[in-house]
Amino acid sequence: MSPPNVVWITLDSVRSDHVTPGGATRNTTPKLQQIVDSPEGYYHDHCISHGRWSLPSITSILTGTYPSYHQTGFDNNVLVSEVPTASELFSDVGYTTACLSRNPHLSSETNLDRGFDRFKYVQASTLLQNAGLKTTAKFLANIRTHSAGFELNKYAHSTPYIINDIAKRWVQDFTQSNNPFFFYLHYNETHTPYYPPLPYLDAFDEEFHMEPREAARRVLEICDNKDEHMANGFSEFSDEDWRILSAMYDSEIKYTDKMIGDLIEYVMKKSNRKTIFIVTADHGELFGEYGVFGHTLVLHDGLVHVPLVTHGLDVEQDLVQHVDILRTLAEKAGVDTESMQGLDLRTESRDFAVAQTSAANLDPYLKFNSEFNSEHYIQDAQSDVVRTKSHKLRTGKDQEWLFELPDEETDILESNQNIAYELREKRDGWYQQHGSVSERSDDTYSEEMMQRLEDLGYH
């Protein structure tokens, strides 16, 4: 049997309970639901990301290794040369490899472009250069349909139309060859700030009272000052503010769902061999849980429980992690998986998942409020969670909490020491198997990269 094509689509900042197959209260992802309902589709109910933010999570996706091993986003700003990438490994067995990225963490600055035959990081400042004159002209002609119209604020504009146009050209090229392809795409529109294209501004406006464009501009203002709002415990937020944040976030998801559905349909029509599709998220988003707006500080399920839709993978397991999906794909493609740490889900299953994060940096919030409430955050050490389908043990240095999911407010540690003991045993054995690489990197980001990250709210 010839090896399959692989199309892996990662959405930024999408939590599982905000997509239709994950039980969202709004119909945000009808296209994803169609894929799930198709004969080869499946929704994995408990996909646990490897971290709470993009860099460690994307690195795990693209290497098949855990953050404690690759250390990217922990001790290192970039992926070290000792850790092979999926693009290199798939190339070794004859795949054409390609990546389209809208996230600066997935760029040459982090070495995550390594091994791709084609790679583009699409950013506003180099749009014409990266997208080309034809795509740029088409986007401008459709700017009221697929973006914010003639809006001067660059953060109001959307780029999935551009990503899709480039992607379709590349797919057309791929299908002219006899080689299978591994195509990784990262859509960033569901990241803050949330400003959906004009036709989607009123997608869920029945739940708030502002005029939709006014609501979107208010969301831009909130996102621009989110550190200060968090520091002050959202004391200036109204119920309407929370409603419009949630509505605009879901509207962004709905638009992105349409665009990825469009791309998947195109690939299905053009593909000259079996194609496996993966649609997931690098992490989720919090809307006030543990005093957080965004994706920082904690490993709450709103950040680590992410959607995962597969089509053609032929695996129906619920508790999975991204390293498992990559390992399973690699095994199907005849790729060398010696460097990968995930499970082959065709023959193995997991009974717990692990997510990790570095120490919480409170400086951005303390500068606005020296009495910032830090009770939920682990400041002095790396922290992790061990999660099963029913329970979650959160640990860092001398702090520990146990929760019976989905409740992450009631600590049941004292009355359930037997469950905590079992999860500690799982965690300790896991760490013995997944140490760190020997190499450390002293690479630092360029000033341009630092500015791009600051614009996205990273510190």
DSSP H helical ranges for 47-123: 54-63, 67-70, 86-92
pTM given for the model? 0.93
In this predicted structure, what is the pLDDT of residue 453?
47
Residue 446's pLDDT band (cuts 50, 70, 90): low
Q: Which residue has the tokens 């990081």?
A: 121
Distance, CA of 184 to CA of 79 (rounded, Å): 17
Q: What value does the mean pLDDT take over residues 345-358?
A: 96
Judged against a pLDDT cut of 80, whether residue 325 lies above it is answered with: yes
In this predicted structure, what is the pLDDT of residue 131?
75
pLDDT in tens, 200-225: 999 999 988 999 999 999 999 999 99
Higher pLDDT pick, 371 / 128: 371
DSSP H helical ranges for 283-385: 301-304, 322-333, 363-366
Give CA separation, 43 vs 9, 30, 219, 308, in Å.
14, 13, 31, 6
In this predicted structure, what is the pLDDT of residue 439?
56
Higher pLDDT pick, 142 / 196: 196
Q: Which residue has the tokens 């949330």?
A: 194
Judged against a pLDDT cut of 70, whether residue 458 lies above it is answered with: no
> In the predicted model, what is the mean pLDDT of the chain?
92
In this predicted structure, what is the pLDDT of residue 123?
78
* β strands within 85-232, DSSP E: 96-101, 118-121, 181-187
Domains observed in the chain: 5-352 (3.40.720.10)
Which 3 state secondary structure label does DSSP give 218?
Answer: helix
Distance, CA of 423 to CA of 409 (rounded, Å): 19
Evaluate whether 55 touches 76 at the Cβ level (below 8 Å): no
Assign 3-class secondary structure to 416-446. Answer: CHHHHHHHHHHHHHHHHHCCCCCCCCCCCCC
| DSSP helix, strand, coil percent of the chain (3-state; round to 5) | 40, 15, 45
Give CA separation, 6 vs 39, 58, 165, 311, 375, in Å.
18, 17, 19, 10, 43
Least confident of 186-190, 215-219, 441-445: 441-445
What single DSSP character describes residue 72? B
